[in-house]
Structure 1
């Protein structure tokens, strides 16, 4: 589904191609994710409310749920943090998260084909996806602490 970068494809076209009805709120949520990847629903709501003032936080949550179900958006759930959403759904990448400021960066798979990691014993499971979260301190936080 990803022959062009997410930002290069019109939000309405992406929503329609996923079989969803295009609304102002849905379009604004997808556009906001293009501006602010790895955003929480609250952060996205703040952006969406600027362009669609009549929207609600619930409609942002509904749109995100629909997008996750349709495969347009990926939800990541870092331990101890609110769920975050991103448009990068076409690969099995991982994340670096700063334990200081919460900044999130994508990390491509380190080795091998998806699912990137092979467990030593899969216990009969057919592994489809591996999620790895690297926690550390970003360069800005490291510089501040010196």
Structure 2
């Protein structure tokens, strides 16, 4: 389902214009930053409105927040599956990487004191995308 109104209502959220605009932009632009989303909606929403919408969408489970070290926070609508990410060290491009093992968590900690269960590991690989590798050659 890719209808923003139906997705919002299905997640128990009111279908407001800012939420629809942000969700619609994310559906076609995975791994967007808040600045990317502002540009995608033509600058018609304030930064605070975009962040409020992202918080609501993330809290409801419609959107996933990823935070690669040294990179702006990014958002995507691919949620509920066991996938990870690879980030280009040169240009910052982010791509999805399906889990090799297929089951969460992909890694098991040696110890998790104070935790009854560990059910997810967030992995981020770093490398050089094909475009950057070609331009550096």
TM-score, normalised relative to structure 2: 0.93
The Cα of 1:124 is off from its aligned counterpart by: 4.9
Determine if contact 2:82/2:102 at 8 Å carries over to the other structure. no
Aligned position for 1:49: 42
After the TM superposition, which residues 1-146 of structure 1 pair with which residues of structure 2 at under 5 Å, given as runs? 8-49=1-42, 53=44, 55-125=45-115, 126-146=117-137
Deviations 1:74-101 (A, max 9, x none): 0000001110000011112110000000
TM-score, structure 1 normalization = 0.88
Which secondary structure state, in structure 1, belongs to the residue aligned with residue 41 of structure 2? Answer: helix
| Secondary structure at the counterpart of residue 86 of structure 2 | strand
Partners of 1:118 and 1:66 in 2: how far apart? Answer: 30
Q: Which runs of 4+ in 1 moved over 3 A?
A: none
Q: Is the 8 A contact 2:65 2:76 kept in 1?
A: yes
Q: Deviations over 1:95-122 (max 9, x none)?
A: 0000000011000111141112212333
- Mark the runs of 5 or more structure 2 residues left unpaired by the alignment: none
Q: How many residues align?
A: 136
State the alpha-carbon separation in 1 of the partners of residues 109 and 4 from structure 2.
Answer: 37
Runs (5+) with no aligned partner, structure 1: 1-7
Give the conservation status (yes or no) of the 8 Å contact 1:96–1:104. yes
